[in-house]
Structure formats: C-alpha cells, structure tokens
C-alpha cells in the first residue's frame, strides 16, 4: 500500500497531490528526486514497483523478507538497498517488537518499504521537509532522516529493558528466586536487539563514504548515537547473563536448604524408628502366649522385671550406642582436620 509519494526539487516538496506509480517513475529534472513510501506491499505491488523503477530481482526479493541483521547492498551501478531494523517496546507484553525498513536508493528516487511495527516514517519525512538545506543534497538526505529516526527510537527500548533488568536484579539479589524463564526470555530479546543495532554501525560507516559533504556531520552524529546504543545493549546482555547465573545460584542454595531440611527430618525419623525397633520386638516377644511366660510371669514384680525392665534396658542400650557413635564421628572429623591445621602457617 502506497502511504506517500512526492517529488522534491531544490529542497522543497513540489506537490502534495497523490501520484501514481507511472508519474513517480517518470524521468526527473536534474536535482530532483521522488520519495515513494510503501507499507507492507503485496507481491503484486512490489512486482509493479520493480517494473516501473527497473529494480534488480534480488533487491526486490530482499525487501519481501525479514532479516536478522541490517545491511547495505549495491545493485547495478547507482542503486543501493539499505535494510534497517526498527524496535519498539510493548509495555503490555513486556516484549520488544521488531520491524524492518528496506530503502531503495537511487539518484532520482528513494523507495521505502516498511514491514512490521515501529516503522512509521511520517515524522522523518516532515522533519526533512523542514530542512531544505539538507533536501538539496538529493536522495541521500532521506537515508539520513530515516536513520536518525530509527536510532532515536532505540533509546526508549533501552530504558524499558533497563527497568526490567533492575526489577529482576532486586528480586534475585534480595535472596528470592526470580522466574528463570523471564530472565532467559528477556536475554533473548536483548540479543535480538543487539543483532539489530550492532551491524548497523557498519551500514552507517559505509554510507558515510558516499554522502555529500554537508550531510557527513549529520551521519557522524547518528553514528555516535548508535555507538552509545550499541554499548548499552551489549552491557545489558552481559548483565542479564550475570543475573541468570546469580538466579541459578539462588535456586541451588534454596535446593540445598530443602535437602538439608529433608536430611534432618529423615535423621530424626531414623532415630525414632531405631528406638522403637527393640521396644516393638520385646513387646511382641512378651505378647506371645507360650507356656513359660504363662507359668513364670504371674505377679506384678515379675512383669516389672521382665516386661518394663527389658524395655528400659533396651532404651538405655540404644542411647549408649547413639552417644558412642556420635563421639566416634567427632573423633574422625577432628582427625581429618588435624593435617590441615598442621599445614597452615602459624
């Protein structure tokens, strides 16, 4: 779908009336160029644009696909294809949405093909139209205006991601466990953002070698801003890696605490079972109705000696066994630590 199409000459927009593709592709006077803006065109629309402007087949194919990295390609002798990736932060989903702008740059035309979100170029067109001294530089001034808007759009994304990272940091370093999936997903988003930002440095550097002299300071300013954005995104990616590792460490500590608690509980249950094991045996033994017990245990004194007495003796024996075992373990620990103490200085 054609969004806007206008002819510029002498730093001014010649007409605000809608233009057909035939009119846009007509030969131009020296010093003038046409800027055709298209949003998510169909294959048929792209084929018509290709035919009217005599674009290279591979260039048109590139404009139909999404790319992970920005790039600049030279087609024919005087036509370049510049691919940029745009970014916008969605507060509701807490995700980064990416779009793409493909720019066909020729001496007499600029064709911008926008796909996805965050690729609105009306602001760039209006800003450039207020700078006639830059428009006089020709079609390359459009590339500067688009680059400047795209790079400026990266700053809000960095701010929102920084806020998310601070929230994750406060959760992890407070000792609580942050959702690992959220940290991993945010790191993946920042990595995709880095792929959109970092290669753009080479694209801008390539364009700097071919722009008019009066546009060079403006492109250098874009390059400086982009370099700062690149450093910020790289630092955020490294910081998220640290946060992820710290969160894994917190999870390990929590799992260790749970394991210690479970071991303590099992130890207590084992001791209780050990105490009741002989008691259960003695109680079951004296609960049998065989002749010797019936004939010999008939008074309370005998019952106290054979029944309760054996229970107390078994409890005492288990207690002595626990203490002996504990002392033996303590001696083993002290014995294993003695060589280390001797090896320490002082």
pLDDT band at 107 (very low <50, low <70, confident <90, very high): confident
CA 250 to chain centre: 20
The domain tally of the chain equals 2
269 and 227 assigned to the same domain: no
279 and 243 assigned to the same domain: no
pLDDT tens per residue, range 178-226: 688 888 889 999 999 999 999 999 999 999 988 888 899 999 999 999 9
C-alpha to C-alpha distance for 301 and 312, rounded to whole angstroms: 15
Residue 288 has pLDDT above 70, yes or no: no
From 211, 228, 252, the end of a domain falls on 252
The predicted pLDDT at position 339 comes to 59
208 and 321 assigned to the same domain: no
By the 8 A CB rule, do 135 and 12 touch?
yes
From 252, 279, 313, the end of a domain falls on 252
183 and 298 assigned to the same domain: no
Residue 150 has pLDDT above 90, yes or no: yes
Output the six-digit token pair for 81: 């294809």
C-alpha to C-alpha distance for 76 and 43, rounded to whole angstroms: 22
- Is 260 a domain residue? no
54 and 191 assigned to the same domain: yes
Residue 32 has pLDDT above 60, yes or no: yes
The predicted pLDDT at position 244 comes to 84
The predicted pLDDT at position 156 comes to 93
The predicted pLDDT at position 29 comes to 81
161 and 303 assigned to the same domain: no
Task: Give the three-class secondary structure for 346.
Answer: coil
C-alpha to C-alpha distance for 344 and 346, rounded to whole angstroms: 7
Structural domain harbouring 125: 2-252
37 and 136 assigned to the same domain: yes
CATH number for the domain that contains residue 175? 3.30.460.20
116 and 235 assigned to the same domain: yes
The pTM score is 0.73
Residue 344 has pLDDT above 60, yes or no: no
From 204, 225, 252, the end of a domain falls on 252
25 and 141 assigned to the same domain: yes
As a whole number, the mean pLDDT across the chain is 83
More confident residue, 308 or 11: 11
C-alpha to C-alpha distance for 244 and 247, rounded to whole angstroms: 5
Q: What is the mean pLDDT of residues 299-313?
A: 71
Q: Give me the long-range contacts of 22-30 (CB less than 8 A, separation at least 24).
A: 22/52, 24/52, 24/109, 25/52, 25/53, 25/109, 27/108, 28/108, 28/109
pLDDT band at 294 (very low <50, low <70, confident <90, very high): low
User: What is the maximal distance between C-alpha atoms in the chain?
Assistant: 132
The predicted pLDDT at position 296 comes to 65
Residue 160 has pLDDT above 90, yes or no: yes
Q: What is the mean pLDDT of residues 123-138?
A: 89
225 and 275 assigned to the same domain: no
Q: Shortest CA distance to 102 belongs to which of 41, 34, 12?
A: 41
- Is 258 a domain residue? no
122 and 239 assigned to the same domain: yes
99 and 65 assigned to the same domain: yes
pLDDT band at 320 (very low <50, low <70, confident <90, very high): confident
Residue 103: which H helix or E strand, with range?
strand 95-105
């Amino acid at each position: 779908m054609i969004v806007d199409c206008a002819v510029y000459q002498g730093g001014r927009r010649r007409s605000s009336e809608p233009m057909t593709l035939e009119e846009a592709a007509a030969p131009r006077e020296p010093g003038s160029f046409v800027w055709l803006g298209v949003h998510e065109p169909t294959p048929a629309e792209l084929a018509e644009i290709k035919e009217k402007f005599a674009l290279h087949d591979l260039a048109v194919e590139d404009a139909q696909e999404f790319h992970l990295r920005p790039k600049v390609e030279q087609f024919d002798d005087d036509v370049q294809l510049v691919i940029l990736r745009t970014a916008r932060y969605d507060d509701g989903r807490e995700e980064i949405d990416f779009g793409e702008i493909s720019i066909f740059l020729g001496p007499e035309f600029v064709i911008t093909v926008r796909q996805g979100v965050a690729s609105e170029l009306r602001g760039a067109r209006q800003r450039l139209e207020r700078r006639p001294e830059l428009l006089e530089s020709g079609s390359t001034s459009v590339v500067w205006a688009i680059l400047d808007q795209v790079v400026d759009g990266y700053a809000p994304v960095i701010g929102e991601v920084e806020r998310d990272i601070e929230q994750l940091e406060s959760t992890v370093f407070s000792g609580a466990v942050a959702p690992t999936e959220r940290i991993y997903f945010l790191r993946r988003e920042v990595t995709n953002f880095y792929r959109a930002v970092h290669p753009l440095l080479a694209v801008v550097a390539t364009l700097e070698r071919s722009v008019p002299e009066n546009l060079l300071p403006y492109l250098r300013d874009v390059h400086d801003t982009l370099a700062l954005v690149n450093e910020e995104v790289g630092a955020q990616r490294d910081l998220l890696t640290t946060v992820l590792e710290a969160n894994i460490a917190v999870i390990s500590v929590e799992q260790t605490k749970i394991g210690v608690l479970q071991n303590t509980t099992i130890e207590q249950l084992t001791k209780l079972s050990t105490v009741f094991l002989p008691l259960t045996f003695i109680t079951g033994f004296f609960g049998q109705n065989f002749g010797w017990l019936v004939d010999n245990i008939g008074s309370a004194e005998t019952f106290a000696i054979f029944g309760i007495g054996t229970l107390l003796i078994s409890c005492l024996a288990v207690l002595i066994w626990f203490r002996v075992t504990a002392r033996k373990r303590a001696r083993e620990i002290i014995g294993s630590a003695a060589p280390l103490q001797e090896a320490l200085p002082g």
